[in-house]
Chain A
Amino acid sequence: MILAIAAARGLYFAALMLLFGSAAFEVLLKKQLPFVAPVLLPRRGMLLAALAAALVWFALAAAQMADAADLATIRLAATATLFGNLFVLRVAVLLGLLLLPARRLTGTAVLAAAALSLPSATSHAATASPAGLAATGTILDAVHLLTCGFWIGGLAVLIALFRRKDPNMLQVLSLFSDTALVAVLLLAMTGMINIVTILLVGNHVRAPVYLAVLGAKLALVGIMLALALVNRFALTEAGEHPKIARNAVIELGLGLIVVLLAGLLGQLSPVQ
């Protein structure tokens, strides 16, 4: 049950991060480099994946809460729990996204950001926050998800531009480096605060499985950061575009694994 919920959770976040990040970076490209033709990644596939993952995640979470999987349980979970209320809102936002024309990039970015960050109110960061600071935990978790989304979705756009051999790659790379750097700094900062809140406050025994998954996640993020730094400070200067493209693909692949691990972390108990 835990692995199934973790997989659904990870898929939901991965699909929405790609959707939000790609739309947000394309909005930025349109404003800063209007001569770059839009990429418009296949949005419907990401949306349907997010919608299916949301439904599975909710049904499994309801069954987990009640030890039952009947219609009455599903209805009670949807109407009488915070997770359920937010689920209904998320589905409404996703349906709104399905109706939105693909070229409405700003609308796509805003709605995808809402769907991506709504589960933050029921995250470990929110529920583990000391009394009175749940809202702070929610905001920190939302910023963590959105900045990760910008990084991963931006990489997807970058890879698509490399594939079509866009003539403006140098300017695009420069714009991505500058904005992704801010996103990664915020990502690291909120991640560190979340770790302190969830794990380091209080004198409790930490769960070894949680620590192992967190360690694997941090190791992969370390590799992603190293690749990003090599791209930014060595390869971009040298104009090594094929190597940058290869590293971007590896970074994106690692990023998606990190998101799946984050999905699992959300289901594990941090302390014994």
Chain B
Amino acid sequence: MKKIVLLMLLATSPAFAHAKLVNSDPAANSNVKSPSMIKLSFSETLEPAFSTATLTDGAGRTVPVPRSVGGATITLLPIGLKPGAYKVNWQAVGHDTHKLSGSFGFKVIP
């Protein structure tokens, strides 16, 4: 029985007890063609009311984009991003009410 429980724990992806960013598309510091979707995946289910992400351009101006928060994912839907550097700032709150925040950049190429 103990072996089965341990196997179940080890066979699945681990979590961190706080909502941490585990993956993003585009990836941090990547060069991509103008994306139609920016997807941030976290280590645990988020509280949509207190989790968010914003997009800023190279000059630090906020780029207005529709966003949605569902499950362990925050999705931004940019339209026609021009070539240049961009930064995604995120804030994630998990069911445990703990908040983590961070940012990553990517570059849009022609």
Name the one of B14, B18, B45 contacting A201, with C-beta atoms under 8 angstroms. B14
Chain B residue nearest to A202 (CB atoms) is: B14
Name the one of A76, A80, A129 contacting B15, with C-beta atoms under 8 angstroms. A129
Interface contact A133-B17, CB-CB below 8 Å: no
**In the complex, how many residues of chain A place their beta carbon closer than 8 angstroms to a beta carbon of chain B?**
35
B18: chain A residues within 8 A (beta carbon) = 127, 269
Since A123-B96, A128-B44, A269-B98 are in contact, a sample of 17 more A-B pairs with Cβ atoms closer than 8 Å, ordered by chain A residue number, is A64-B99, A65-B47, A65-B93, A65-B97, A65-B99, A76-B50, A80-B49, A81-B95, A82-B47, A126-B95, A127-B15, A127-B17, A127-B18, A130-B13, A131-B15, A133-B9, A193-B5
B13: chain A residues within 8 A (beta carbon) = 130-131
B 70-102 contacts with A by CB, 8 A: 93-99
A196: chain B residues within 8 A (beta carbon) = 6, 9
Q: What 1/0 flags go to A78-101 for Cβ under 8 Å of B?
A: 001111000000000000000000
B 40-80 contacts with A by CB, 8 A: 44-45, 47-50
Chain A interface (Cβ < 8 Å from any Cβ of B): 61, 64-66, 76-77, 80-83, 121-124, 126-134, 193, 196-198, 201-202, 204, 266-267, 269-271
Q: Taking chain B's interface residues, is the majority helix, strand, or loop, or is none over half, making it mixed?
A: loop
Q: In the complex, which range does the number of interface residues on chain B fall in?
A: 20 to 34
Residue B4 at the chain A interface, CB threshold 8 Å: no
A123: chain B residues within 8 A (beta carbon) = 96
B98: chain A residues within 8 A (beta carbon) = 64, 267, 269
Interface contact A66-B50, CB-CB below 8 Å: yes
A271: chain B residues within 8 A (beta carbon) = 16-17
Chain A residue nearest to B15 (CB atoms) is: A128
From known contacts A201-B9, A201-B10, infer whether A76 and B16 are also in contact, taking CB-CB under 8 Å: no
Interface contact B17-A269, CB-CB below 8 Å: yes
Interface contact B12-A80, CB-CB below 8 Å: no
Name the one of B14, B45, B48, B49 contacting A77, with C-beta atoms under 8 angstroms. B49
Q: How far is the CB of A174 from chain B (nearest CB, A)?
A: 30
Interface contact B94-A133, CB-CB below 8 Å: no
Interface contact B47-A81, CB-CB below 8 Å: yes
Interface contact A130-B14, CB-CB below 8 Å: yes
